[in-house]
Structure 1
């Protein structure tokens, strides 16, 4: 029987174009202004002058290569340590599990570098994702919020302590920026006295781009390398994950002498993500059991059932 449809090839092209336009709009709302945090006192967050001794001690250990006698200078945030950490990442097997299993495994950790919360990690991840969801941001950004701290699994994979996993990140291989938290604690780090590493450009060239520098090794950089080949997350989501702790750059404006045009583009994504990571910490704890089905559905859209960690 002949088809009675009057839809032409031209009509299908127009429908396809309209769908593409809708998808572009849906994917662009990630940079719309935040609303969930409009009544929050933002001065109460990241107040490192008033931070507890736990936080101050953490940063001194991370920055000062000689503070803990049990560790050599190569085991602190130096160029030597960072090269070794990247070699270890590429050559050692750690674990194979799902994203949700990784969240549950991480749930016993309290981040010693964070002055704003003592909640478990899964609660912070859900707080971040739910704030993004309430603001109507796209699914991929909700997922970025849900998984952004999973790199802290490094604490179970042979790390030397929290100093090589958490805390603000910064560039190694050139002069330590005075925009880093507690910059005076770098005074005994050997790289601060190295004839090359202590210079403005160090081992880098002007505007070489962040893809070509070494950030201090930790959960951001580790998770980016885990996800970039094992997810369908867009470039903006990967940037949110990789640079969310890079406060000297995305908040303080440091390292512009090393960044390029690509970095300027992704900076907008990192800044759009930051309020959700930071200001959701004062929200009420989430009901994990209630939210689990929704987020497991989102995870399945962007990740395989099992990942190599």
Structure 2
């Protein structure tokens, strides 16, 4: 793939741009209290970065029902690579973007900052594991996947797209928008069928959920699987698909979200001090090697 093709497929300068955009759309309540009007957020008419808008144009055009099923079939076989857990973190760190002017912290350091914030607040160690593992699915980029198929707010496919999804106007180019199987409120689903029966747009959330589903408790798995499902856990746009169990479990998704958004800072964690704790924690929950 040449440089032009890479730019077309991957419009963000770095994967962190999407996360920075989340901070603009879903700010820390304390930041709002310090004087910035809530109307200043979710400003899609004049976004800070054109690259974010282009990212979502591609995401909404190509994330259709058939695309998601194809990616699930391909990647959920976990036959691409197998490696020790800590080697997997080194693999993930290949995603560091030296052109990013805002941070020189690698992926592992962000994960440690998230997990350390969770640990400092006294949450159970399985939630600390969520902080450590929640972005592991970004390794999809290292298997040649474009950014719009790895990160981004997630949403159901196979039914009508909600106008609560960021940049809903871009769905006009999605093939499902004119398909009568998929463009009604419920589409291929039944009312309140439960999210376990719903396909969400493909990305690192779904991938890491399947990677971890045999090892972590259910609240942890909801955090992993739905931490980018902003149309629901911030907008309640898909209550008609959730069942009672989903509603109960989403309190865990909402608990985790602020740690992911607001734990970043410029001070890297002290890995020398933290290493014994995290090596023991990972050994408690995960096998010696992971399949990708």
Which TM-score applies when normalising by structure 1? 0.76
Rounded Cα–Cα distance in structure 1 between residues aligned with 2:41 and 2:206: 21
Are the structure 2 counterparts of residues 143 and 192 from structure 1 closer, same or farther at C-alpha, using a change threshold of 3 Å?
Answer: same
1:197 aligned residue = 182
User: Which has more radius of gyration?
Assistant: 1
Q: Does residue 1:273 correspond to 2:256, yes or no?
A: yes
Match of 1:148 among 127, 131, 134: 134
1:281, distance to aligned residue in structure 2 (A): 2.3
Rounded Cα–Cα distance in structure 2 between residues aligned with 1:122 and 1:40: 27
5+ residue gaps, structure 1: 1-36, 65-75
Correspondences of 1:50-129 after superposition (within 5 Å): 50-64=47-61, 76-91=62-77, 93-109=79-95, 119-129=105-115
Are the structure 2 counterparts of residues 51 and 117 from structure 1 closer, same or farther at C-alpha, using a change threshold of 3 Å?
Answer: farther
1:285 aligned residue = 268
Are the structure 2 counterparts of residues 139 and 48 from structure 1 closer, same or farther at C-alpha, using a change threshold of 3 Å?
Answer: farther
Of 237-246 and 274-283, deviating more is 274-283
1:302 aligned residue = 285
1:117/1:281 contact within 8 Å kept:
no
Q: What is the RMSD of the two structures over their aligned residues, measured on CA atoms?
A: 2.6
- Give the number of equivalent residue pairs: 256
Q: Secondary structure at the match of 1:307?
A: strand
5+ residue gaps, structure 2: 1-26
2:113/2:264 contact within 8 Å kept:
yes
1:169/1:247 contact within 8 Å kept:
yes
1:130 aligned residue = 116
Rounded Cα–Cα distance in structure 1 between residues aligned with 2:198 and 2:48: 30
Correspondences of 1:163-178 after superposition (within 5 Å): 163-178=148-163
Are the structure 2 counterparts of residues 239 and 39 from structure 1 closer, same or farther at C-alpha, using a change threshold of 3 Å?
Answer: closer
Which TM-score applies when normalising by structure 2? 0.80
Of 168-177 and 121-130, deviating more is 121-130
Q: Does residue 1:181 correspond to 2:166, yes or no?
A: yes
